Structure 1
Amino acid sequence: MSTHPVDINLENVSSNDSFEYSIIFLKGTVTCRENVCKTLNCKVLVLTDDETSEFTVQDGRFKCIIDLKLGRNLVNVICDSDLHVGQYSLNLERKPNICDKVLKLLYVVPKGDTGTFQSSGTCLNSAESACKRIVTGVKLLQCMTAERLNELGLGRKTFNLATENGQEICEIFHSQYIKEQFFSWTSEKIWNMTARELLASGVFAQGVKVLAFLSCTEYFRESNEIKGYVACGRGHLAMISSSGLHSWACDLKDVVSCLTSSIPIDSSLFDDSGSRGTLSGCYATTLGAALHEIGHIFDLVHTDFGVMARGFEELDLFFTVGNPQPKHYYTEMMRRCASQEISVRVRAPTKVTSVSFGFRPIGNDKDDRKWDRDGQAYFHRSAAVLLSGHPWFGKRCQLEDKGPIQISGLEVKVPNGIRLIELHTEDDRLVKYWDFTKNPTNIHRYCLSWFDVKDVIQPSLLVQDVTGKIVTHYLNFDASIPSVSQ
């Protein structure tokens, strides 16, 4: 049987691209040169200096996740099946991240506890296994954040992870509180008590934000109750439960199989799968929830779609091909767990209006790309602009600081130049934003219209200048309401 030559094309990466993080995402197509096959379903091998990985090609499309070492890396993508043969080679460079601000990963273990997380069957659930799963998962989030920003023309910018001897790490933090105390507290109190404890222990050093996982989260099937549940992010601390760690991959080689697993969640475990009931759904939902909470500590508010809404549940669709679309429930859905009530409802979206300077109006962000192909785990345009200029997202050229951001009434004055203005509701939801990133010259003053804010209850403004500096300010209507003659 003769073989047919194929062309392998990468859509998101070119030879000589450079990266400041280790896990790299490749997506592309395989097409038959002789048009013998309309669509291809086969495998591709990805060879780097250190390892060989295999990925599925479905309907001519493939997605790969690989690990780069520091320096130059030769990457070969090979299709070598009984019917088709082809190869694509490229050089990629991994550079050290020189940003002096880091996201530290912590695994919080109660006093006197071993640190095991709830699991079933043969799943290894030690504290060490938890840390491996967390590092692998958050490195995926680091990669996806960079790719999503790059898709919008903002560059591959992302957060930096704390390392030890050049390797990303998750540290075990031994709490002074016992498991029974965590079980008796609400999500809000777990966050508050942990934040105080981390502050007192000196974890929040300058240039450090924290993503923490609580080890002792436990589901009780008999009473349909979950204890030690937390999902909260603000200030310098994002914290979530360990209830989904049993579904997370320990190593990069297991990520795709974990994100596509159709194995049902064991009935002894809490089903946090976005109503999918599978291990892959649990992995996508809980890892996506971690990104949502990370977004909050990087100054993001809730948006009408994307990661900062409920789009984080579709993280699996970004990394995989041929994965079935998750179910969506647009009505309020509540899990009532004895005395604790966990809300997983999807709010009715707030319509977001955008104003752009220097290029065409953005309108609806979703019109600018084929959003449905890779799921809804992407960032709203405003969130992406904010992150790409954020002080925690890469080292920047030091610009002269010409003065602080000033907000008086509806007038914004920014000596360094305005990058972004967001209008928020009282419950921190985005209503409208003004994007200045494409303006050919810096704008130093902008005045909102009374009609922008008149229907917003207790509105606030977030202003980011071109140096990345961010100020949030509650509007003083007394200074901005136009006088009315009697």
Structure 2
Amino acid sequence: MFCVKHNAQEGLPQIRFLNVKPNDSFDYSIVLVRGEILNYTHRRHRHGLSSVQIVNENIEGSIESAEIASDGKFKVAVELAPGVNQLKFRFCCATHGISLIFDKRKNPRYLLRILYIICSNHDGHFQAPCDAETTVERACEKIDLAIRLVQCLYAEMLTKHGFDRKSFEFIGCKPFHSSISVEEARQWDQNQLWQHHAKEILAQESTEHRFKYFGILASTLCENGMVKGHAALGIGDVALFGSGTLYAWPTNFATIQRCFQDETPVDTNQLMDDSNGKNTYGGCFATALGSICHEIGHIFDLGHTTDGIMGNDIDYVNRIFTVENCPRDLPRRMASKCASDRNADDKLNQSNRRLTTIRKTNSILTNYHCRRNDDLTFLTENCAILLNSHKWFNQFAEHANESCIRCDIQQKIIKSSLPLVLVEFRSKQNGMCMKYYRFDVTTSTPTMTSNVSSLRFTIPSDVIEQNYDLIAVDKNGNIMKC
């Protein structure tokens, strides 16, 4: 095929997919496609040819665009319709099609419920520039879209450890009316907000153990640079997050990429800026998604880690979905005082709750991220192992989850009726993972200990001396904490 933009020496461009293959199946509707343009150089294609066009023939009006990095790589979020989707990727004279399947789980047993929490004397509008629509309906649209992106994020993070793509199922956002006034909510800290709203949610919603809850607070307000009624906290079965940056979130799929790349500066006197120094709408959206992943991770039984989405790296979610040819250097975040992994009922009675707080560190770390050749959004190995077996990430048969894991501290023994996949020890002070043992179920051997069956684990003496929290997970997602 002849192309006027190329000569015989250059070679014709070709499109190759890096993370998907024909007829790959997904049980969530927004998927990430990564690929590369062979025979591409930035110099040759700088004249208006720096992006790939994507059409999903199963969705009317579906036309997406993905910027190409200087090395020819590209990445793009693609929306799938139920069933087989025919996708066409086009660059210059090259076209490549692929079929991807969206097959949603049938009758999932374990679900995440999404709630938009509205105070008793409040109409539920969220704070945004004066020309924006801030209704409850608009808020729920934005929240549902964000959760669909979080589904994709978790699945992609699992694949980095060699696991199949897995994610959770959720029930679409609905208003939840609280008994407290908006004035009260804006006087409370996130600990008080969580205590009150968690009690309300667990009392009014289903008491079945197959539900977890993620609530967005309509009460969040930025006034003269001061943020009120905000929370970013996940404990037990309930996670809360403030609506302060909802103005920067996309409302529909077509605006996702634009929102990630939105360089509009935030008026910090009128709007909340949580972007780790980017001070842009796009930075706020990326950080919000990272924070949501972090807090939902806690209610999916994850503790804190030094790095990754459960630690410091919550601000760079945009790099998962978009190309950054000129990434900026930003300070690293630090997580401290982890939200506890104990049951919510136990925590409701504790006054001195351990919280998740995020703060910026000294500028000496500004070059930290640019030294790492990664998109900077990832799960550490122990977190990935836990989620790979987690009940919310799998479709187990109704009685397949029955198991018994017992811990005898005096005898220094953990016994399980099903093979263990992970034993983890976390600091009681901050919930940080201090040590973990992963089991290969096929060989029944943990990576850090020899001659130990995956049905029986000997607790190291130094762990008992340190008085760590102990978490054990079996292959069917049953979790014991002691």
TM-score by length of 2: 0.84
Return the match for 1:283 from 285, 290, 293: 285
> Is contact 1:311–1:375 with CA below 8 Å preserved after alignment?
no
> Is contact 2:390–2:477 with CA below 8 Å preserved after alignment?
yes
> Is contact 2:51–2:67 with CA below 8 Å preserved after alignment?
yes
> Is contact 2:333–2:358 with CA below 8 Å preserved after alignment?
no
The Cα of 1:388 is off from its aligned counterpart by 0.8
Return the match for 1:73 from 79, 85, 100: 85
Structure 1 position 419 matched with structure 2 position 421:
yes
Q: Tell me which moved more, 248-257 or 116-125.
A: 116-125
Partners in 1 of 2:401 and 2:37 — Cα distance? 50
Counterparts of residues 430-469 of structure 1 (less than 5 Å): 430-437=433-440, 439-441=442-444, 443-454=454-465, 456=466, 458-469=467-478
Partners in 2 of 1:342 and 1:56 — Cα distance? 35
Structure 1 position 161 matched with structure 2 position 170:
yes
Letter in 2 for 1:172: P
Counterparts of residues 224-243 of structure 1 (less than 5 Å): 224-243=225-244
Aligned-pair RMSD on alpha carbons? 2.7
Structure 1 position 190 matched with structure 2 position 204:
no
Counterparts of residues 19-58 of structure 1 (less than 5 Å): 19-32=26-39, 37=44, 42-48=50-56, 49-50=58-59, 51-58=62-69
Match of 1:208 in 2: 211
> Is contact 1:115–1:127 with CA below 8 Å preserved after alignment?
yes
Counterparts of residues 291-310 of structure 1 (less than 5 Å): 291-310=293-312
Inter-CA distance 425–78: structure 2 relative to 1 (3 Å threshold):
same
Partners in 1 of 2:43 and 2:67 — Cα distance? 20
Partners in 2 of 1:39 and 1:155 — Cα distance? 37
The Cα of 1:300 is off from its aligned counterpart by 0.2
Letter in 1 for 2:99: N
> Is contact 2:233–2:356 with CA below 8 Å preserved after alignment?
no
Letter in 2 for 1:94: F
> Is contact 1:204–1:236 with CA below 8 Å preserved after alignment?
no
Match of 1:382 in 2: 382
The Cα of 1:235 is off from its aligned counterpart by 1.3
The Cα of 1:345 is off from its aligned counterpart by 2.2
The Cα of 1:58 is off from its aligned counterpart by 2.2
Return the match for 2:222 from 214, 219, 222: 219
Match of 1:165 in 2: none
Letter in 1 for 2:462: F
State the 4+ residue runs in structure 1 displaced beyond 3 angstroms: 33-41, 203-206, 329-333, 341-344, 370-374, 397-403, 451-454
The Cα of 1:469 is off from its aligned counterpart by 0.4
The Cα of 1:280 is off from its aligned counterpart by 1.0
The Cα of 1:343 is off from its aligned counterpart by 5.3
The Cα of 1:89 is off from its aligned counterpart by 1.1
Kindly, what percent of the aligned residue pairs are identical?
Answer: 27
User: Matched residue of 1:313: which SS?
Assistant: coil
The Cα of 1:396 is off from its aligned counterpart by 2.6
Letter in 1 for 2:29: S
User: Matched residue of 2:425: which SS?
Assistant: strand
The Cα of 1:203 is off from its aligned counterpart by 4.3
Return the match for 1:132 from 124, 141, 144: 141
Q: Residues 29-68 of structure 1, C-alpha deviation per residue, up to 9 Å, x if partnerless? A: 1122899949996121111121221221121121111111
Return the match for 1:345 from 354, 359, 377: 359
Partners in 2 of 1:446 and 1:67 — Cα distance? 44
User: Matched residue of 1:184: which SS?
Assistant: coil
User: Matched residue of 2:192: which SS?
Assistant: helix
Match of 1:96 in 2: 104
Partners in 2 of 1:309 and 1:448 — Cα distance? 26
Partners in 1 of 2:462 and 2:309 — Cα distance? 29
Letter in 1 for 2:436: Y
> Is contact 1:420–1:437 with CA below 8 Å preserved after alignment?
no
Give the unaligned 5+ runs of structure 1.
Answer: 163-168, 334-340, 349-369, 474-486
The Cα of 1:72 is off from its aligned counterpart by 0.9
Letter in 2 for 1:161: F
Inter-CA distance 236–11: structure 2 relative to 1 (3 Å threshold):
same
Match of 1:256 in 2: 257
Q: Residues 167-219 of structure 1, C-alpha deviation per residue, up to 9 Å, x if partnerless? A: xx210112121101101211111111111111221245442111100002011
Partners in 1 of 2:90 and 2:377 — Cα distance? 29
> Is contact 2:312–2:333 with CA below 8 Å preserved after alignment?
no
> Is contact 2:142–2:246 with CA below 8 Å preserved after alignment?
yes
Aligned residues: 431
Partners in 2 of 1:402 and 1:179 — Cα distance? 43
Structure 1 position 110 matched with structure 2 position 106:
no
User: Matched residue of 1:392: which SS?
Assistant: helix
Q: Residues 79-130 of structure 1, C-alpha deviation per residue, up to 9 Å, x if partnerless? A: 13xxxx1011111111121322111111111112111111114222221111
TM-score by length of 1: 0.83
Match of 1:15 in 2: 22
Letter in 2 for 1:299: D
Partners in 2 of 1:331 and 1:464 — Cα distance? 27
Structure 1 position 470 matched with structure 2 position 448:
no
Return the match for 1:317 from 316, 319, 324: 319
The Cα of 1:257 is off from its aligned counterpart by 1.1
